């Protein structure tokens, strides 16, 4: 073999420089892979479904089981094994913020049929449901991150939100759930909070440069959450929540009669780039958005905005695969539907969950479409310009 083709000895290869993870979890160290040091469960362990050493060290709330409550003379006979450790102040602060902060969960404030979907009810269920409790803590931390102006505080609360949510998802996926009247509420609360949290993160600082992709990922997550919650719907029909389910189903069946999406729906029906299932699903997606636009015809009162927010949250769960596939393929017809959805986001921009997301997402759609599609974006554009 010539010198020019001689193999490079391993000791001659330059080593890639990298930052060592000195505080990584024991599982990543054992496997000799880089740990991102996210607590209470690092990302590698969460994705692989492995037991992370951080979760064993993470402080938890004291058990609510009656056998762990010590009082009177029993306290004198207690042993070290019954001691639950010091109180975790940071978790207590997050729980307090979750139950006391006005506007934290705006969708539960107004409609009469949602009177039982309260922060207190969620915490009550969370005390016996670990995956729900972790999502509650994550949601509270995410709200605090949006309220803080100091970069250090914002970063810390975002870290906590990511950590608790990762742990909650890991616990949820590892928990076999046989839905019945005793456990369907924690599942509904968990998927509801997780869905809103995912929507809020679409416009996270690090996501803004690729906001359209993150929004499409959110749509995928929302459809997945609907698949999970569908299991609880039959049980809900047998409970006091059947009225809520009936009202929600009726709203989901609404189709629009207004004109804001008329030209768009004609574009969809005449498209040569969509197959028939995609045409049908895109037309339905546009019609569901039009139903929300019809509500706003009489003016954007508080009650109307509340209903629009419900449409905004439910639409991602009722859209069908044909629309999703067209959006993923960056078909102009599907992207223009997303641009019209931005109007709903814009109407709800005063909610901390939404903020400036509408304009950022609309600009992301404009950038992806490129020149030549301005005609189809005129009405959404006029809404932004008129605000």
**pLDDT recorded at residue 107:** 58
Residue among 212, 319, 331, 317 at smallest CA distance from 264 = 331
pLDDT tens sequence across 21-34:
556 777 777 776 77
pTM over 0.85: no
**pLDDT recorded at residue 296:** 79
Question: For the chain, what are the domain ranges?
Answer: 251-385
- Sequence-distant (6+) residues with CB within 8 A of 186 are 125, 126, 128, 129, 131, 132
**pLDDT recorded at residue 214:** 93
**pLDDT recorded at residue 63:** 35
pLDDT tens sequence across 75-130:
344 444 555 667 789 999 999 999 998 878 775 444 455 556 788 989 999 999 99
Contact 193, 166 (CB under 8 A): no
**pLDDT recorded at residue 115:** 54
Low-confidence ranges of the chain (pLDDT < 50): 1-19, 55-80, 108-111
pLDDT tens sequence across 327-367:
999 999 999 999 999 999 999 999 999 999 999 999 999 99
| Average pLDDT, rounded, for the chain | 79
């Amino acid at each position: 073999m010539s010198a020019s083709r001689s193999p490079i000895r391993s000791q001659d290869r330059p080593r890639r420089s990298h930052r060592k993870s000195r505080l990584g979890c024991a599982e990543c160290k054992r496997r000799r892979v880089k740990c991102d040091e996210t607590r209470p469960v690092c990302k590698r362990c969460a994705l692989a479904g492995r037991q992370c050493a951080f979760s064993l060290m993470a402080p938890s709330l004291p058990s609510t089981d009656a056998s762990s409550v010590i009082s009177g003379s029993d306290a004198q006979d207690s042993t070290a094994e019954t001691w639950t450790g010091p109180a975790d102040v940071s978790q207590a602060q997050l729980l307090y913020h979750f139950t006391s902060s006005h506007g934290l969960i705006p969708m539960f404030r107004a409609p009469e049929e949602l009177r039982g979907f309260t922060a207190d009810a969620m915490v009550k269920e969370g005390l016996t449901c670990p995956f729900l409790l972790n999502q509650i803590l994550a949601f509270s931390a995410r709200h605090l991150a949006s309220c803080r102006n100091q970069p250090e505080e914002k970063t810390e609360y975002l870290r906590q939100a990511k950590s608790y949510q990762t742990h909650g998802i890991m616990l949820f996926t590892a928990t076999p759930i046989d839905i019945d009247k005793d456990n369907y509420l924690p599942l509904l609360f968990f998927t509801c909070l997780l869905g809103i949290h995912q929507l809020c993160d679409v416009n996270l600082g690090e996501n803004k440069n690729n906001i359209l992709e993150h929004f499409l990922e959110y749509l995928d997550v929302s459809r997945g959450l609907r698949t999970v919650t569908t299991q609880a719907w039959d049980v809900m029909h047998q409970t006091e929540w059947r009225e809520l389910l009936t009202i929600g189903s009726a709203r989901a069946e609404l189709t629009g009669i207004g004109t804001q999406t008329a030209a768009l729906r004609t574009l969809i029906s005449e498209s040569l780039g969509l197959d028939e299932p995609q045409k049908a699903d895109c037309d339905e997606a546009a019609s569901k958005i039009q139903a929300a636009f019809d509500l706003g015809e009489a003016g954007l009162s508080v009650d109307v905005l509340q209903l629009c927010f419900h449409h905004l949250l439910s639409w991602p769960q009722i859209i069908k695969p044909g629309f999703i596939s067209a959006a993923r393929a960056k078909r102009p017809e599907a992207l223009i539907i997303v641009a019209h959805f931005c109007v709903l986001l814009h109407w709800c921009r005063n909610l901390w969950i939404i903020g400036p997301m509408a304009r950022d997402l609309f600009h992301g759609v404009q950038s992806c479409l490129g020149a030549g599609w301005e005609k189809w974006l005129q009405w959404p554009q006029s809404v932004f310009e008129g605000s």
